[in-house]
Amino acid sequence: MTEEQIIGMIDHFGDAVNRAILAGFDGVEIHGANTYLIQQFFSPHSNRRTDKWGGDIEKRTTFPLAILEKAKQVANAHQMPEFIIGYRFSPEEIEEPGIRFEETMFLLDKLAQSGLDYFHFSMGNYARNSIVNPEDKEPLIRKFHALKSENVAKVPVIGVGGIAQRKDADAALEQGYDMVSIGKGFLVEPTWAKKAMDNEVCAEFADIAQQQALMIPTPLWEIMDYMIIDSAAEALKHQRIKELQSVEIKFEPGEYTAYGYGHNGKLPVTVSFSEDKILDISVDSSKESDGIANPAFERIPQQILDGQTLNIDVISGATVSSQAVLDGVSNAVDLAGATQKHCVVKHVKRLSGQPKSSKTP
């Protein structure tokens, strides 16, 4: 971008704030996450400029700070000191060079000094640990509190991701977030807040026939595949599974670790067996990038456990991750020396059209 284009882009952000105010919104959130433009300017991976807009970490904060200042100027021009301005950020980048958590805390301190109303983590799960150092299991929110400056400590922080029920929100608040953000939950449960306050169970999936009732536009509905179930088809499948389960199956009891192949190489899957049942499935997804694949690591194991079968549909948008989990469990079944598995486990896998990965040992 030329200098003129950069200044013009900052003005565009100001125009957006102006439209939000005219439309009657209470505030805006500056989207400095998910590798969009603002994050690109802060990232040493994408920003290789040598002028005032890039270079060392101080210069790489210039664009985000300019966006925040422009937003505040527009709100002040409307004489709206109460207009809320927040900032969403991705805490790390896995690339080398890339944003590291300590660098993010440097940026947040600069933003806090300038003045804003809240910070918003952008993560697939509120309890996420480092994607750069996955062996470090400390949740990033705890690192945030350990490293926060006096300026950052004055700004509330929002957690997001993996909050499906009231208990998840409570757990996030206990970990150190001041507020939580609910996205997917509201799509399938429009009364999520009331149900959570009343300690009622909230829906986590929508039925395929609910699109109109939930008032979800088709483009959004089409990318919500992993959150949509076909109740009628599920009932038929469960009936078929029950019939298949009448065939006796025997395992060598114990815990076995096998592998599928995810986006970043081997995906370890540890499976516990009794003589006749899969008892537990643990997926080590620490080397996988955080994002839309997360439901595969949570939903696929639970479906296998519930149905005691690998006849599981892969999750749209997370096909590779879904298949990696299925392959890992399948190979653990082999290690457990299952008898009659071709009648039950392998057979139902073939019914679903999911071939076993030949790459997995």
Residue owning tokens 């389960």: 245
Out of 36, 87, 118, 261, the active site residue is: 36
What are the tokens at 140? 């990033």
Give the count of beta carbons closer than 10 Å to the beta carbon of residue 287: 16
Contact 313, 296 (CB under 8 A): no
User: Looking at residue 225, what DSSP letter applies?
Assistant: G
Q: Which helix (H) or strand (E) holds 229?
A: strand 228-229
What are the tokens at 51? 């002028």
Q: Give the whole-angstrom CA distance, residue 275 versus residue 250.
A: 5
Q: Give the whole-angstrom CA distance, residue 79 versus residue 184.
A: 35
Question: Which residues does 287 contact at the CB level (< 8 Å), separation at least 6?
Answer: 134, 262, 264, 265, 267
Strand order in the sheet with 254-262: 254-262, 265-273, 278-283
Contact 98, 46 (CB under 8 A): no
256 annotated active-site:
no
Name the residues annotated as catalytic: 36
